[in-house]
Amino acid sequence: MLLPPTGSIVMLTGAGISAESGLATFRGAGGLWEGRRAEDVATPEAFARDPGMVHRFYNQRRRQLHDPAIRPNAAHLALARLEADWPGSVLVVTQNVDDLHERAGSRAVLHMHGQIRRMRCTACLEERLWLGDLDTLTPCPACGATASLRPAIVWFGEMPLEMERIMAALQSCDLFVAVGTSGHVYPAAGFVEVVRDVDRAHTIEVNLEPSAVRSAFAECRVGPAGSVVPTLVDELLAGLR
Ligand code: OAD
C-alpha cells in the first residue's frame, strides 16, 4: 500500500488488540460483559448504587496489569515501530484502559475511555497515577475526602476524552485503521464515517471477524491483530523505499 511519506495515520484500537496479551475483551464468549450487563458495572449509576462492587471489578483489571505475564504483543510493538519509523504522523486512539501501547513504546496515544492506572477524586478533581486497589474508604491523597475516589475511566453516559484532538486527526488523516474493536460502542464506532468524508483517506478494519460497522470500511483484514498488524506495518514502511 502506498501512502505519501508525509501521510497522517490514525490507528483506533479496541480490546481485541490486547487479547493476545491475555486481557479479556468485553463482548462474546469469555468476555468481561458475559453474564453481566455493562450498565450494572460501567455507569455512574452503578457506581452510585454499589461502589464496592464497581471498585472490585476495576481493582481486578488494574491488578492484572501488574502480572509480568501481561505484556505488549506483536500488534502493540508494530504500532510503536510505525510511530518511530514513519516520517508522517501516527496517532493511536485507544478505547483500552490498559497501558500496553505505552509499554510497547508508542508515545502519541490518546485514551478516549481513560486509564485504569489513574484515579480521580470526585470531591477535589485531583487526578493522578494509582497502582493499588481503590475502595470507598481510601482517602483522597490531595483533599483527604473518603468515598470520593474513582477510576479515571469513562463510563457509559460520560463524555469520552480528547474528542477535539481525535476529530481533528480523523478529518485530516490519509489512513484510518481500526484494530480489534466490535463496532458496538459510539462514538468510536462512528469514526470510520468521519474519515469517509475525507476524499483521499483509505480505511482498513483489522479484526478476528467482521465488526458491526465493517461495511463502512474500504478494506477488511480478518485475522489476529498479532499477525495482521505487523504485516500491515511492514507494507506501509516498505512503501517508503
Ligand atoms: P469488544 O469486546 O466489544 O470487541 C473486541 C473485538 O475484538 C471483537 O470484535 C473481537 O472479535 C475482536 N478480537 C478479539 N481477539 C482479537 C484478536 N486477537 N485480534 C483481532 N481482533 C480480535 O471490545 P471494544 O470494541 O474495544 O467501554 O469495546 C468497546 C468498549 O465497550 C470498551 O472500551 C468498553 C466496552 O464496554 C466502556 O467500558 C465504556
Mean pLDDT of 5-29: 94
Confidence (pLDDT) at 84: 98
pTM metric for this prediction: 0.97
- Rg of the chain on CA atoms, in Å: 18
Place of cell 496479551: 21
CB contact set of 97 (below 8 Å; sequence gap of 6+): 61, 111, 113, 114, 115, 116, 151, 153
pLDDT grade for 204, boundaries at 50, 70 and 90: very high
Closest CA to 64 of 113, 106, 15, 126: 15
Ligand 1 near 207 CB (within 6 A): yes
pLDDT at residue 45 is higher than 70 = yes
Mean pLDDT of 142-167: 97
Confidence (pLDDT) at 235: 96
CA dihedral 132, 133, 137, 139 (to 10 degrees): 30
pLDDT grade for 170, boundaries at 50, 70 and 90: very high
Residue 113 annotated to the active site: yes
Q: Which ligand 1 atom minimizes the distance to the CA of 188?
A: 29
Closest CA to 78 of 17, 37, 119: 17
pLDDT grade for 207, boundaries at 50, 70 and 90: very high
pLDDT grade for 30, boundaries at 50, 70 and 90: confident
pLDDT at residue 241 is higher than 80 = no
CA of 71 to the centre of ligand 1 (A): 18
From 55, 113, 184, 202, the catalytic residue? 113
**CB neighbours (10 Å) of residue 176?**
26
CB contact set of 115 (below 8 Å; sequence gap of 6+): 97, 99, 152, 153
Coil, strand or helix at 120: strand
pLDDT at residue 32 is higher than 70 = yes
